[in-house]
Amino acid sequence: MSVQAPSYMRFLPEDALSRLGGLELKSRGVMAGFITGRHKSPYKGFSVEFAEHRQYAPGDDLRNLDWRVLARKDRYYIKQYIEETNMRVTLLLDASGSMAYAGAAAARRGGKPCSKFDYARYLAAALGYIAVGQQDAAGLVIFDTAVREYLPARAQTSQIRHLLEIIERSETGGETGLGGVFHEIAERIPRRGRVVILSDLFDDPENLVSALHHFRFRKHEVTLMHIMADEELTFPFDEFTVFRDLESPGNELPVEPKALRTAYLEQVKAFSENIRAVCGNLSIDYVPMNTRVPYEAALAEYLSR
């Protein structure tokens, strides 16, 4: 008798997991965690990478004595090392109305184009799975103009189920409000860690930049995954089209695309380049993502770098 997998497991398809197998989400700097892991910790111990010497004190383990220093200076010194620890990964998933857009060129899931929101949900599920799998803590925030769901980061295996259940039941809603939400989240995350933002970034750039500064001020490493549909990046429309605002129901605008294409593409390019420059100045990973590219391929390319 076969047992049917829970519906939320669709966000961790076997083909994607096999492609992502062996890849890791690594920290660039030091992390403050609770268990031994694979990232540098701000605390000194006796594990992997040499840090410095200190004088021997009664009770120290003699196995950590530096015998070369003893032979050279006739003094007892203990070798200290940088401890490795686990990383706290917090995934910020944008559930604003604009994320519901699914262009015809998007990679297909279940026979239909994958919306930006679904694309982000698959990415969040994969990143959470990878983080917990490498003994790191994973947490999740669903937001639009406010925090809709908040799952604190934990490293238990059961965290994957909690994360997937929230991902499955989440839906797109109101307008985008990155600034206020990100400032709130920056204060709620208790220790330095990695923050992964999954969003189309449709908000005032000044609000976004201020919030990114807040994350860096709190010593968090930040990865900004800028998710856009191919049509938003190329504007391939030729015929007279009525565009509908997904964040303001009833707000529609009839447009002659050819008359706007050049100006639109210039603004999209300028916006992306501005965000990329800000991220470069703040040592933030800026990862542009096009929903035309299967998410597992885009994620594997980023993690392999």
Per-residue pLDDT band for 82 (boundaries 50, 70, 90) equals very low
| pLDDT reported for residue 39 | 43
Domain ranges in the chain? 7-29+86-304, 39-85
pTM: 0.80
Q: Dihedral sign, CA of 188, 192, 198, 201?
A: positive
Q: What percent of the chain is predicted at pLDDT more than 70? A: 82
| pLDDT reported for residue 67 | 66
| pLDDT reported for residue 58 | 67
Tokens of 142: 């669903």
Q: What integer is the mean pLDDT of 246-250?
A: 79
| pLDDT reported for residue 37 | 46
Q: What is the DSSP string of 146-170?
A: SEEEEEEEE-STHHHHHHHHHHHH-
Q: What integer is the mean pLDDT of 285-294?
A: 96
Tokens of 132: 């917990």
| pLDDT reported for residue 29 | 55
Q: Report the distance separating Cα 134 and Cα 267, nearest Å.
A: 40
pLDDT value at 5 more than 90? no
**Mean pLDDT comparison of 22-31, 106-115, 192-201, highest-scoring range:** 192-201
Containing 218, the helix (H) or strand (E) segment is: none
| Secondary structure (3-state) at 85 | strand
The CATH fold of domain 7-29+86-304 = Rossmann fold (3.40.50)
Phi, psi of 4 (to 5 degrees): -75, 135
Q: What percent of the chain is predicted at pLDDT more than 90? A: 54
Per-residue pLDDT band for 204 (boundaries 50, 70, 90) equals confident
| pLDDT reported for residue 177 | 84
User: 133-190 pLDDT, tens per residue?
Assistant: 998 999 999 999 999 999 999 988 899 999 999 999 999 988 888 888 999 999 998 8
Q: What integer is the mean pLDDT of 274-284?
A: 96
Q: What integer is the mean pLDDT of 74-88?
A: 64
pLDDT value at 289 more than 90? yes
Phi, psi of 191 (to 5 degrees): -135, 165
**Between β-strands 88-94 and 194-199, what pairing exists: parallel, antiparallel or unpaired?**
parallel
Q: What integer is the mean pLDDT of 60-72?
A: 68
Average of per-residue pLDDT values in the chain: 85
pLDDT value at 280 more than 90? yes
Which distant-in-sequence residues (6+ apart) come within 8 Å of 208 by Cβ? Answer: 178, 179, 182, 201, 275
CB contact at 8 A, 72 and 79: no
Tokens of 174: 């109101």
